[in-house]
Amino acid sequence: MSIERLRAGVYVELMAKAKERVLPKSGRVCVPYVGEWGAPDRVVEVRGYDERIAETFGLVDTVELAAEGGATLVLYRMTDGSAQAASYSQADCFELTAKYPGLEGNQFVITIRDSMTEPGKKEVLIKHRWLGLGHRLTVTNVDDLVAKTANLSFVNQAKKLGDAPLTDVAEAAFSGGTSGTPASLTGADFTALFAGISGADFDALYLPSADPAIMASAKQFIADRRTFNQKLSTLVVGGTSATDGSMDAHIARSTAMNERFVINSAIAGEHVNGKTYSSLEWAAWTAGLVASTPAHISLTAQPVPLKKAVKDWGHTEILKGLANGVWMATRDGSQYVVESAINTLSTLHAGEREDFAKVRVSMTLDQIMNDLIAVGKKYKGKLNNNEMGRTTFIAAAKSYLDERIRQAAIEQGATIAENPDKASVGDVAYFVLKAQPLDAIEVFDIKWEVL
């Protein structure tokens, strides 16, 4: 493919990504979970309510909390590898197996009866005993059953055992499903998790553990992804219900993290859905919000679906939390809002600035780098490393930056050019990107001269 044919492709790819970033619900949040339904120990992408229900039955609170923002869910069910799928069979006829292993498969029942609408055929009802989710089929014989169960949401394709006729049954139960849920999540479980999601793309990762050692490992995992894999994302952590009423405990967690790519959520209390969640569980909601929020919107003062906080923080506690990088909700009239959208960065590292501690600024930096890196990977090896090839990439990148300026994600004057200090030779091209992320006004300091 010639350079000329690739020019439009580079441009369109970058512009498509720029426009996507201003749309709500365009981000991706990774939510590891423990449950009795879902694909075990692998990444599954979920978009929308129907796909989520098929994957978790809506039974996992942290998944539902993360979904409230509207981001694409990157789910990973953590198991110990021992789960077995439930099944139902009729001798010399067929066997049906639940789609996923786990105890929830035992809740499925099957009914086979004469069809009232198609004489001579059988109606097969497969449903979850108390959720009511399932499938309704009309079949002629076992071969027809096998064919019509090829692409169902809750059971695998039926296995033919023989040519015996289908036997009528009324809500016969599936059985044999066993749990693969670990008694408690250990460091080894999270090592397996990080290996399983290392290649996945996501903007935010929810960590379902308040163990300091595991949080430290997760922080290193995100740092390594950023450094070695060039996959930039944000880790969201929380604490236990036992310490949710202590600002000092939240501060200690933020101090241990101290990175612009880690958010420490101190939100805890009763959700408007009537359930009470710890800050660890609320961290899933925070991760979903961060992933789904478009580039031009600040998360500060965003409404929080909190009915009653575990503790309404006082002024002094709020100031201490803000100074130490604690993400919290405070009451504003009749509702709770995000006090300030900050990450855990409080002591600057080399090459960092104070505004990097704001989530909007940090996420904009990551989004731009992720987009440029993704397109660079897609087109590597397809542009000649000469002035024409490098100019093609620069032109596309500049158009992308102009779109981000129009979105109010970055300031006017953003540029990308060849690096004057490094010569682009061989198969390496060097560029310099200069852009100032925009933040929102949060403090209005008005000097009033009374006349």
Residue 2 binned pLDDT confidence (cut-offs 50, 70, 90): very low
Give 89's strand partners. 95
Can you tell me the distance from the alpha carbon of 86 to that of 97, in angstroms, rounded to the nearest whole number? 6
Helix H or strand E segment including 77: strand 72-77
Instruction: In the chain, count H helices and then E strands.
Output: 11, 21
Helices 3-20/387-406 angle, 10° precision: 20
Domain 22-79+184-338 listed as CATH 1.10.150.300: no
Can you tell me the distance from the alpha carbon of 260 to that of 352, in angstroms, rounded to the nearest whole number? 9
Helices 387-406/359-379 angle, 10° precision: 150
Q: Choose the weakest-confidence range: 109-123, 367-381, 383-397.
A: 367-381
What are the CA-CA distances from residue 75 to residues 29, 40, 47, 89, 340 (Å)?
Answer: 8, 10, 11, 31, 28
Give the tens place of pLDDT for each residue, 43-55: 999 998 999 999 9
> For the chain, what percentages of helix, strand and coil (3-state, to nearest 5) are there?
35, 20, 45
Mean pLDDT on 131-143: 95
Give the tens place of pLDDT for each residue, 218-253: 999 999 999 888 889 999 999 999 999 999 999 999
Burial of 3 (0-12, 13-18, 19+ CB in 10 A): middle
Architecture of domain 87-173: Sandwich (2.60)
Give the tens place of pLDDT for each residue, 330-384: 999 889 999 999 999 999 998 888 988 999 999 888 888 888 887 787 778 888 8
If one counts every other C-beta atom within 10 angstroms of the C-beta of residue 322, the result is 16
For the chain, domain boundaries? 22-79+184-338, 87-173
